[in-house]
Structure 1
Amino acid sequence: MKRILSKICLSGAALATAFSLSTAASAEELTIAHSTWVGYGPLYIAQEEGFFEEEGLDVDLVVMEDVKTRMPALAAGRIDVAVTTIDTVLGFYTEDHPLTYLFALDDSRGGDGIVANADIKTIEDLKGKNVAYTEGSVSQFFLSVLLKEAGMSLSDVNSMNMSAGDAGAAFVAKRVDAAVTWEPWLTRGQDTEHGHLLIDSSKAPGLITDIAVTTEETLEARRPEMEALYRAWAKAVAWQKANEEAADVIMAKGVGGWLDDPAVFADTRSGIAFYDADMNKTFMDPSNPDGIVGTIANAMTLGKESGMVTLDANPKSLLAADIVK
C-alpha cells in the first residue's frame, strides 16, 4: 500500500510539474521594442527583478533604434508594443492600423534643449537664423511648439536637417547659429565661448514624453496583458526610486549601447523623470487638459501644419481606457 501511495504521489507531482512547465511554455510572448534611451531602463528592472513574471508575463525586450523600423513592425504585428514619443506616434497612425496610447514611461526634464549663439537671447531671436535639428523628430516638435508660443513657425528660421549629435557638433564648430539637441551636446554647446543654453525641456514638462503604444487590434486581443505590463512598469519605477544605485547598474546593462556605463546612465538619467503610478494617473487622465491630451492636440496641430500628420481625431479617443488605474 505504501508503494502504491508513493507511486500515486510521485505521479501527481510529475503531472503538476509537467502542467506547470506546459503552462509556462504556452504563455504567449509579449515583444516590446525600444531604442537606446535612458527612459526605458525600468523595463529591464521589471525583467531582472521578476515583476514581469509576477504579473504572468513572458516579455522579450528588443532594441530597434530607427522609429521608421519600429513603428511599421508594430503595425505589421511583428512586435506587440513600441515605445517612442507622443508626437511620433501620430505620424504612423493609419485607418488600417489604428494605434492607441497605453501609459507614459518618462519625461524629459532638461535632457533636451536648444544651444545658441550668445547674441540669441530669446526664441524670437532665432528668426532668420540657421537652426539645426532632426526633421520629423521630437526635436522638430519641441522647436515648433516653442516657435508657436512666440508667434512664429518653422518658416521663420533657416532649418538645417541633421541628427541631434550632428546638430550639436555643428553648433560647437560654429557652423550653425543654434541647435536643437540633447546631452552631451547641450553641455558641450554651452561650454563653448560663443554659446549658451537658450532653453531646455525642464521649462516644458510633459512636452517630450515617451509612451508605450500598441495597435487597437492587439489591445482588444491582449488587454489583460497590457494592464499587467503597466503594473509591472509601476512596480519597476517604485523599485528604482528606492534603489537608485543598484537600479542604474541593472538599467545600464539592459539598455546597453552608449549607456552601458552605470555612471553615464546615472548622469543622463538626471535629465529625465520616470513616470510612476501617481504621475501616470494624472498625465493619462483624459479630463486633464495639461496632460497627454494637451500634448497630442499640440502635436496634431503642428504635424498638420508641417504635412507630417493627417490624422483628424479627438485626442481622448486615442487613449487606451483604464490601462492606468
Structure 2
Amino acid sequence: MKKSLKFFITFVLVALFIIPITACSQKETLKTLRVAEVTHSIFYAPQYVALSEGFFEEEGLKIDLKTTWGGDKTMTALLSGGADIALVGSETSIYVYSQGTSDPVINFAQLTQTDGTFLISRNKVDNFSWEQLKGSTFLGQRKGGMPQMVGEFVLKKHGIDPHKDLNVIQNIDFANIANAFASGTGDYVQLFEPTASIFEQEGKGYIVASFGTESGRVPYTTFMAKQSFIKENAEDVEKFTRALYKAQKWVETHSSSEIAKSIQPYFEDTDIQLIEKVVERYKNQDSYATDPILDEEEWIHLQDIMDEAGELPKRIEHKTLVNTSFAKKAIDD
C-alpha cells in the first residue's frame, strides 16, 4: 500500500513538472506570420475573431498583426519584406502587377465582400438624397484606393460627376481624414467604422448612406502575399486560410452581441454597445464574406469599378492574381 502511494505521488509530481514544459514547448513551436492590415476597423471582425477565439493557434500559427494605415504603406511593407501577408484592397495587387514584377502579389483569401465606408454629413439630414451632394465639398479617400473608387462609382450611379458637380478633396493622408473633417474640412466625408458611428455619437457628423449597400459585391479586402512566399510557405498559407474560414463561419452563426464581446479586446477604447451596433450594420449589408473564395464575378466587378474611375492600368485575368486553392481546401476540410 505504501509502495503504491509512493508511486502515485511520484507520478503526480512528474506529471505536474512535464505538463507546463509541454505547454511551453507547444507555444514555442507556433509559427509566426507577420500580417499588415491597411486599417484597424470592425469591418475586419472575422480576422479579430480568428485571433480572439484561438483559431490561428489551433492551426499552429502565431499572428504578429500591425496596422499600416493606407494601401500604399501596406503594400510597401509586403514588398519590402516587412510583412508576410497583407490585408488590403485587391486593387493593389493589380497596380503592382501592371508595373512589371517577377514576383506578383497573389490574393488567396477574401475577408470582406462590400465596401465598408459610410457617407457622413456634417449637418443632420432628415430626408437624404444623393442629389444634395451637388455643389458641396466632399472629403474623399486617397486617389486610386478602393474607398475612393467605389465612392466615385456610387456617385456616378446617382448621376453625380465627382469632379464637376462637387469639390472633391483627395490629398489628405488616409490616417488624417477623420481628423480633417472633425476640424471643419468638408460638408461630407467617407469614413469606415467605428469612426463613422463615433462621430455620430459625438455629434460631429451623421451617417446618411452606405457605400457598401450601393456598390454591390466586390472583393474589397483580401489577404495576399508574394507569389514566392506562397510557394515557399504553402502549408502555412493553408493553415492561415483554414483558421480564417473557421472565423468566418463563427461570425456567420453568432449574434452581433457575441461577436462584439469576442473582438472587444482589439477595440478597448470603443464602447461594447457601439461595437455591437457596427457589427450589426455590417452583417445586415453582408459585408463579411462567409468563405475565403474570391470568385471571378467579383474580380470582374472590381476592375469595372477601377475602369470607371480611370484607374485600371489594364484588364488582368482572375487566374493570374487570384489563387482559390487554399480557400477551396479550407471549405472541403
Kindly state the Cα deviation for residue 302 of structure 1 after the two structures are TM-superposed.
4.2
Q: Alpha-carbon deviations, 1:172-231, whole Å to 9, x = none?
A: x5x645433341378479997xx8825542222324722111111111112222222121
Q: What are the residue-to-residue correspondences of 1:22-101 with 2, within 5 Å?
A: 25=28, 28-34=31-37, 35-93=39-97, 94=99, 95-101=101-107
Distance 1:18 1:31 in 2: 26
Kindly state the Cα deviation for residue 237 of structure 1 after the two structures are TM-superposed.
2.7
Q: Alpha-carbon deviations, 1:229-261, whole Å to 9, x = none?
A: 1211121232333364343223121254x54x3
Change (3 A) 1:50 1:201: closer
> Which of these residues, 265, 269, 287, is aligned with residue 275 of structure 2?
265
Kindly state the Cα deviation for residue 81 of structure 1 after the two structures are TM-superposed.
0.9
Distance 2:209 2:49 in 1: 35
Change (3 A) 1:177 1:43: closer
Kindly state the Cα deviation for residue 38 of structure 1 after the two structures are TM-superposed.
0.6
Kindly state the Cα deviation for residue 168 of structure 1 after the two structures are TM-superposed.
4.6
Identify the residue that residue 143 of structure 1 maps to in structure 2: 151
Identify the residue that residue 4 of structure 1 maps to in structure 2: none
Kindly state the Cα deviation for residue 75 of structure 1 after the two structures are TM-superposed.
0.9
1:251 aligns with 2:263: yes
1:112 aligns with 2:126: no
Identify the residue that residue 220 of structure 1 maps to in structure 2: 231
Q: What are the residue-to-residue correspondences of 1:138-287 with 2, within 5 Å?
A: 138-149=146-157, 153-156=161-164, 157-161=166-170, 162=172, 163-166=176-179, 168-169=181-182, 176-182=186-192, 183-184=196-197, 187=200, 197=208, 200-207=211-218, 209-240=220-251, 241-242=253-254, 244-256=256-268, 258-259=269-270, 261-272=271-282, 273-277=287-291, 280-281=292-293, 284-286=294-296
Q: CA contact under 8 A between 1:104 and 1:212: conserved in structure 2?
A: yes
Q: CA contact under 8 A between 2:106 and 2:226: conserved in structure 1?
A: yes
Count, aligned residues: 298
Change (3 A) 1:132 1:140: same
Distance 1:65 1:148 in 2: 27
Which amino acid in 1 is paired with 2:47? L
Kindly state the Cα deviation for residue 143 of structure 1 after the two structures are TM-superposed.
2.0
Distance 1:168 1:208 in 2: 28
| Structure 1: 5+ residue stretches without partners | 1-10
Change (3 A) 1:312 1:250: same
Give the fraction of aligned pairs with identical amino acids, expressed as a percent: 18
Distance 2:290 2:210 in 1: 26
Distance 1:294 1:108 in 2: 14
Q: CA contact under 8 A between 2:119 and 2:207: conserved in structure 1?
A: no
| Structure 2: 5+ residue stretches without partners | 1-13, 329-333
Kindly state the Cα deviation for residue 150 of structure 1 after the two structures are TM-superposed.
5.0
Q: What are the residue-to-residue correspondences of 1:5-16 with 2, within 5 Å?
A: none
Change (3 A) 1:128 1:237: same
Please state whether the residue corresponding to 1:180 is helix, strand or coil. strand
Identify the residue that residue 301 of structure 2 maps to in structure 1: 295
